[in-house]
Amino acid sequence: MPFVFGAVLVTLAIVLFLLQPVTKGLHASLEREEDELTETEARKRVALLALRDVEYDFLSGKLDEQDYRSLKGELTAEALAALEADEEARSPGTGALAELEAEIAAARAEMQGGVPCEVCGFTNAVASRFCSACGSPLPAPATG
Amino acid sequence: MITLGEFALWIALPVTIWGMVLGFVGGRTQRGDLVLSAERSVYAVTFLLALASAGVIAAFLGDRFEYWYVASYSNRELETFYKVAGLWAGQRGSLLFWAVLLSVFSSITMAMNRRRNREFMPYVAGVLQTILAFFVIVLLFADVNPFERLGFTPANGQGLNPQLQNYWMSIHPPTLYLGFTAFTIPFAFAVAALLNGRLDARWIQLTRKWTLLSWFFLSVGIILGMRWAYEELGWGGYWFWDPVENASLLPWLTATAFLHSIMIQENRGMLKVWNMSLVLLTFLLTVFATFLTRSGLIESVHSFAQELRIAYIFLSFMGLVLGGSIVLIVYRLPSLQSENRIESFLSRESAFLFNNLILLGAAFAVFWGTIFPLVAEGVTGQAVSVGPPFFQKVNFPIGLALLALAGIGPVIAWRRATRRNLQKNFLTPVVTAVAAAAALWLMGARHPLALTTWGIGVFVLVIIATEFWKGTRARARIEGEGVARALYHLVARNRRRWGGYIVHVGMVMVFMAFAGAAYNVDVRQHMVPGDTVTVSSPFGHEYKLTYQGLSVSSGRAQRNLLWQAIALVSVEEDGRSLGNMTTEKRMYTTSEQWMTEVGIRSSGLEDLYLILSAVDDLQGALNADSSAQGIDLQVLVKPLVGWIWLGGLILAGGSLISLWPSSERRRLEARREEAEEPVPAGVS
């Protein structure tokens, strides 16, 4: 009776497999990953992403300078407000402006489009000849 | 083996119910042991359903005709390959096949998330087991058990429908089913997110790849189905707006909408309720597609079943899913508020939104056109049919608008576009498109809709090419790389964006090919050997076809073939010989009607398509009567059809690029495995 043998074997194996966690007290982790964004963090993230996209659109030539400046000014103000709100929510304090600058620099560097300043490390827009932050001359863009 | 398979199917039922209950209870009470058991039950069900499938295949291979399903879909003469494919040849097997594919995907999901996303997993396991339980219940209790025995053992089976004995047919259904079942995973995560309240963008990141995978299989499956219809059905078309074709198109449309709208949620924090609804809707539509195909509700080439009990079970399940989804969304409505709003009509956000509305509009039109005959028949008792003209009329403008958006979306500014932004990005593409349409018009292409389609196609292609060119150039300049290297790095760094653009190129090709149908040539002529028919191609050259004669032979190509009558036609193009083409009538031992095999000769731009429409004196031909050689030959010239398959390949390639894990992500994951501690999910 190979069938009966097979059936009994399969059933037993499955019952043991399913009951083992309960009888032996084996546990699956149920830990919640604490990377959930708070309301203000989500807003901050959205604002920074928008800034990044405007940078990309400008660098790839989809926005002209005038549109870029006006959109960026507006988005920067929004991002600043979002950052301050987030700071406020976490712990009352200052430094939002510096953080914003750092975030913008990071976003720019991520674009792979920027020219980093050799003196202060600030990432400048493509084809810049002088650093927007400290005024030092930038290396000439590589060709080829 | 077969009895063991049947036994495994019965055992699967309590196991799925066990997993369903323990998943939800374990998630609710946060008991890790119950959750572990629920997760294990997923693996157990996969094993059991695989065993059941192996049982069905064993029954086919062993010619066990005492099983109704085997007797109905196979016979002794059937090739081994098609016997294995018997698992999805008919309703009963394909329901089991659906379940086993879903269980495999479920197991992969469990294995991939052993250490990650743990707060989702109890509910994910619960939801997946609920759906699996539903399919097992259908298999066992809806008169569709593949292991059902006849009271006796017939000497031979009835054989497989000859139209299904085609290599495309053996991969088209599995591909489509992979697409349908893969979408259950995003659904499970969406429900889990609604249940555990984690409604930030996390569940979207977790399911994006699964959605893309499902979309990839759906697209490829649909295109394979078109290819099958084109080669096998013998009427020269590839899409007939058949209910079953429509049913596979519906989830494709909503899944496409979802893939676009999640970008809005990720980038702008908007459309949360909409995205949630799209996932639930798409899942419902995949079930609806299975239901329509496999319940026999609507008669079509694909539907073979007549049972009604299964229809009620499916309808109740869909009602339950729909009701439950609505309740959950309403319950979580406060957590699904938008973080932003759309500022301008002219912006990338609104382009995405239009894309979604259009896709949903198309889905609604197709859905309505598909079920209207049913509803009408139910109400009035009169059979009504909604033919291809309805679908074409409705979907053509929809398709054109969608196509145009594929060009507008990538370059229009976020938030709001100024006139300068529009000018800067659209002037060249629009001018090129108009110039291309004008050139085509001068070359004699005067069909307004076809010209519009091709113009819009050129517009989109110019925009995408410009995107690639600008990105590559910028990268080459900044990094000092060569063009090829810069292009490779550009795509590799943001596979999702560039893969998406490649998919758009494929879609443009497919649409341009559809428009080519406006120039189809269709000639039908009675011929005796030596007769010649001349057909002009829309591209200017002339085909001269000479009928050489009819040869009748007993079947050799396939074992179930009784005889084949082959018409030999020699082809010349502008005086240059292209060799011979054949088209046949075939009679199978397993069918009462003869089948037509068409002859297709493809060049890059057009297909020459021959159909042996009729044979004057078949009996005479079969008796090798040399005077019985008259035939009706139908000659079609089909411009651009080949672009559908080419476009399909490009589309598949593009989605694979999008699916491929990025190198950064792989590094991140490797590190995560080493450290075994959670790393915040990056924005991918």
B617: how many CB neighbours lie within 10 A of its CB?
Answer: 15
Number of domains in chain A: 2
A137-140: list long-range contacts, CB under 8 Å, 24+ apart.
A139/A115
Same domain assignment for residues A69 and A132:
no
Q: Is A16 within the bounds of a domain? A: no
Q: What is the structure's pLDDT at B263? A: 84
Instruction: Answer whether A33 sits within 8 Å of B119, measured CB to CB.
Output: yes
- In chain A, count H helices and then E strands: 4, 2
Same domain assignment for residues A65 and A94:
yes
Same domain assignment for residues A99 and A58:
yes
Alpha carbons B255 and B218: distance in angstroms, whole number = 9
Q: Is A14 within the bounds of a domain? A: no
Which of A59, A62, A70, A115 to probe by mutation at the B interface, max B CB count within 10 Å? A62
Regarding beta strands B599-602 and A123-124, do their DSSP bridges make them parallel or antiparallel, or are they unpaired?
unpaired
pLDDT digits (tens, 9 = 90+) for B43-54: 999 999 999 999
Residue A52 has pLDDT above 60, yes or no: yes
Token pair 């298999």: residue:
B139
Q: What is the structure's pLDDT at A144? A: 40
B1-160 and B519-642: identical CATH topology: no
The answer to whether the CB of B633 falls within 8 A of the CB of B569 is yes
Alpha carbons B225 and B242: distance in angstroms, whole number = 12
pLDDT digits (tens, 9 = 90+) for B104-142: 999 999 999 888 888 899 999 999 999 999 999 999 988
Q: Is the dihedral of CA B34, B36, B42, B44 positive or negative?
A: negative
**Contacts A–B by Cβ distance under 8 A:** 159
Concatenated DSSP letters for B593-605? S-EEE-EEEE-SS
Alpha carbons A29 and A14: distance in angstroms, whole number = 22
Q: Predicted confidence band at B204 (pLDDT cuts at 50, 70, 90)?
A: confident
Asked if the C-beta of A35 comes within 8 angstroms of chain B's C-beta atoms, the answer is yes
Q: Is A71 within the bounds of a domain? A: yes
Ranges A33-42, B301-310, B483-492: which has the least confidence: B301-310
Domain ranges (residues) in chain B: 1-160, 161-341, 519-642
Q: What is the structure's pLDDT at B217? A: 95
Which of A59, A67, A126 to probe by mutation at the B interface, max B CB count within 10 Å? A67
Which residues in chain B have their CB less than 8 angstroms from residue A57's CB?
Answer: 413-414
Same domain assignment for residues A44 and A108:
yes
Which residues in chain B have their CB less than 8 angstroms from residue A25's CB?
Answer: 33
- Distance from A65 to chain B by nearest Cα, in Å? 10
The answer to whether the CB of B464 falls within 8 A of the CB of B501 is yes
Q: Searching chain B, which residue's CA lies closest to the CA of residue A19?
A: B37
Alpha carbons B96 and B335: distance in angstroms, whole number = 38
Same domain assignment for residues A49 and A98:
yes
CA angle B674, B675, B677 (to 5 degrees): 130
Token pair 């309240």: residue:
B197
Average pLDDT, chain B: 86
Alpha carbons B78 and B170: distance in angstroms, whole number = 14
- Distance from A93 to chain B by nearest Cα, in Å? 24
- Name residues whose C-beta falls within 8 Å of residue B136's C-beta, 6 or more positions apart in sequence: B9, B12, B13, B16, B49, B99
Instruction: Answer whether A113 sits within 8 Å of B474, measured CB to CB.
Output: yes
Residue B154 has pLDDT above 90, yes or no: no
Stretch B506-512: mean pLDDT: 94
Residue B446 has pLDDT above 80, yes or no: yes
Hey, what are B413's tokens?
Answer: 């500014």
B64: how many CB neighbours lie within 10 A of its CB?
Answer: 18
Q: Predicted confidence band at B508 (pLDDT cuts at 50, 70, 90)?
A: very high
Which residues in chain B have their CB less than 8 angstroms from residue A143's CB?
Answer: 477, 480
CATH number of B1-160: 1.20.120
CA dihedral B44, B48, B50, B56 (to 10 degrees): -170
Q: What is the structure's pLDDT at B679? A: 38
Q: What is the structure's pLDDT at A91? A: 66
The answer to whether the CB of B35 falls within 8 A of the CB of B23 is yes
Residue B383 has pLDDT above 80, yes or no: no
Q: Is A144 within the bounds of a domain? A: yes
Alpha carbons B252 and B182: distance in angstroms, whole number = 12
Q: Predicted confidence band at B280 (pLDDT cuts at 50, 70, 90)?
A: very high
Ranges A90-104, B18-32, B178-192: which has the least confidence: A90-104
- Name residues whose C-beta falls within 8 Å of residue B23's C-beta, 6 or more positions apart in sequence: B35, B38, B122, B123, B124, B125, B126, B127, B129
Percent pLDDT > 90 in chain B is 42
Q: Searching chain B, which residue's CA lies closest to the CA of residue A51?
A: B414
What is the DSSP secondary structure assignment for residue B135, as one 8-state letter? H
Instruction: Answer whether B15 sits within 8 Å of A18, measured CB to CB.
Output: yes
- Name residues whose C-beta falls within 8 Å of residue B74's C-beta, 6 or more positions apart in sequence: B60, B63, B65, B82, B83, B86, B89, B157, B159, B160
The one-letter code for the residue type at B30 is Q
Residue B164 has pLDDT above 80, yes or no: no
Top-ranked range on mean pLDDT: pick from B38-52, B104-118, B302-316, B481-495: B38-52
Q: What is the structure's pLDDT at B312? A: 82
The answer to whether the CB of B39 falls within 8 A of the CB of B125 is yes
Residue B648 has pLDDT above 90, yes or no: yes
Residues 90-109 of A with CB under 8 A from B: none
Q: Predicted confidence band at B295 (pLDDT cuts at 50, 70, 90)?
A: low
A11: how many CB neighbours lie within 10 A of its CB?
Answer: 13
Q: What ipTM does this complex have?
A: 0.73
Residue B307 has pLDDT above 50, yes or no: yes
Was domain B161-341 assigned CATH 1.10.10? no
> Among partner residues A28, A54, A143, which is closest to B36 by beta-carbon distance?
A28
Same domain assignment for residues A76 and A107:
yes
| Residue A121: domain span | 114-144
Q: What is the structure's pLDDT at B607? A: 92
Hey, what are B365's tokens?
Answer: 């039109």
Stretch B580-609: mean pLDDT: 86
Instruction: Answer whether A112 sits within 8 Å of B41, measured CB to CB.
Output: no
Alpha carbons B401 and B246: distance in angstroms, whole number = 20
Instruction: Answer whether A35 sits within 8 Å of B681, measured CB to CB.
Output: yes
Question: Is the pLDDT higher at B627 or at B108?
Answer: B108
Instruction: Answer whether B4 sits within 8 Å of A63, measured CB to CB.
Output: no
Same domain assignment for residues A57 and A120:
no
| Collapsed DSSP state (helix, strand, coil) of residue B578 | strand
Alpha carbons A135 and A129: distance in angstroms, whole number = 9
Ranges B23-32, B236-245, B296-305: which has the least confidence: B296-305
What is the DSSP secondary structure assignment for residue B611, as one 8-state letter? E
CA dihedral A79, A81, A84, A85 (to 10 degrees): -110
Q: In what order do the strands lie in the sheet with B576-588?
A: B532-536, B542-554, B561-573, B576-588, B595-597
> Among partner residues B32, B201, B479, which is closest to A27 by beta-carbon distance?
B32
B667: how many CB neighbours lie within 10 A of its CB?
Answer: 11
Q: Predicted confidence band at B303 (pLDDT cuts at 50, 70, 90)?
A: very low
Q: Is the dihedral of CA B450, B453, B458, B461 positive or negative?
A: negative
Same domain assignment for residues A53 and A102:
yes
Which of B9, B114, B120, B200 to probe by mutation at the A interface, max A CB count within 10 Å? B200
Same domain assignment for residues A123 and A97:
no
Q: What is the structure's pLDDT at B420? A: 77
Residue A43 has pLDDT above 80, yes or no: no
The answer to whether the CB of A126 falls within 8 A of the CB of A112 is no
Q: Predicted confidence band at B228 (pLDDT cuts at 50, 70, 90)?
A: confident
Concatenated DSSP letters for B193-229? HHHH---STHHHHHHHHHHHHHHHHHHHHHHHHHHHH
Stretch B25-30: mean pLDDT: 90
Ranges B13-27, B577-591, B630-644: which has the least confidence: B577-591
| Collapsed DSSP state (helix, strand, coil) of residue B485 | helix
Instruction: Answer whether A31 sits within 8 Å of B44, measured CB to CB.
Output: no
Q: What is the structure's pLDDT at B680? A: 40
Q: What is the structure's pLDDT at B678? A: 40
> Among partner residues B41, B51, B119, which is closest to A18 by beta-carbon distance?
B41
Q: Is A143 within the bounds of a domain? A: yes
Q: Is A78 within the bounds of a domain? A: yes
Same domain assignment for residues A86 and A125:
no
Hey, what are A119's tokens?
Answer: 């003196």
Q: Predicted confidence band at B677 (pLDDT cuts at 50, 70, 90)?
A: very low
Residue B304 has pLDDT above 60, yes or no: no
Stretch B608-616: mean pLDDT: 90
Which residues in chain A have their CB less than 8 angstroms from residue B48's CB?
Answer: 10, 14
Q: What is the structure's pLDDT at B682? A: 37
Instruction: Answer whether B267 sits within 8 Å of A144, measured CB to CB.
Output: no
Helix or strand (DSSP H, E) at B525:
strand B521-527
> Among partner residues A11, A22, A54, which is closest to B33 by beta-carbon distance?
A22
Asked if the C-beta of A36 comes within 8 angstroms of chain B's C-beta atoms, the answer is yes
Percent pLDDT > 70 in chain B is 92
Asked if the C-beta of A1 comes within 8 angstroms of chain B's C-beta atoms, the answer is no
Q: Which CATH class is domain B519-642?
A: mainly beta
Burial of B281-303, coded b for 16+ CB within 10 Å and e otherwise, reads: bbbbbbbbbbbbbbbbbbebebb
Q: What is the structure's pLDDT at B654? A: 94
pLDDT digits (tens, 9 = 90+) for A116-130: 777 777 777 777 788
Same domain assignment for residues A65 and A105:
yes
Closest CA to B513 of B417, B630, B646: B646
Which of B477, B672, B684 to probe by mutation at the A interface, max A CB count within 10 Å? B477
Q: Is A51 within the bounds of a domain? A: yes
Alpha carbons B407 and B465: distance in angstroms, whole number = 11
Q: What is the structure's pLDDT at B539? A: 87
Instruction: Answer whether A46 sits within 8 Å of B340, measured CB to CB.
Output: yes
Q: What is the structure's pLDDT at B616? A: 87
Average pLDDT, chain A: 76
Residue B676 has pLDDT above 50, yes or no: no
- Distance from A83 to chain B by nearest Cα, in Å? 15
> Among partner residues A18, A33, A42, which is closest to B37 by beta-carbon distance?
A18
Q: Is A15 within the bounds of a domain? A: no
Stretch B287-312: mean pLDDT: 67
Q: Predicted confidence band at B301 (pLDDT cuts at 50, 70, 90)?
A: very low
Instruction: Answer whether B411 sits within 8 Å of A36, measured CB to CB.
Output: no
Same domain assignment for residues A61 and A106:
yes
Phi/psi of residue A111, nearest 5 degrees: -65, -15
Instruction: Answer whether B269 sits within 8 Å of A46, measured CB to CB.
Output: yes
The answer to whether the CB of B38 falls within 8 A of the CB of B125 is yes
Which of A3, A5, A11, A18 to probe by mutation at the B interface, max B CB count within 10 Å? A18
Burial of A88-116, coded b for 16+ CB within 10 Å and e otherwise, reads: eeeeeeeebeebbeebbbebbeebbbbbb
Stretch B646-664: mean pLDDT: 87
Ranges A86-90, B215-219, B493-497, B582-586: which has the least confidence: A86-90
Residue A95 has pLDDT above 70, yes or no: no
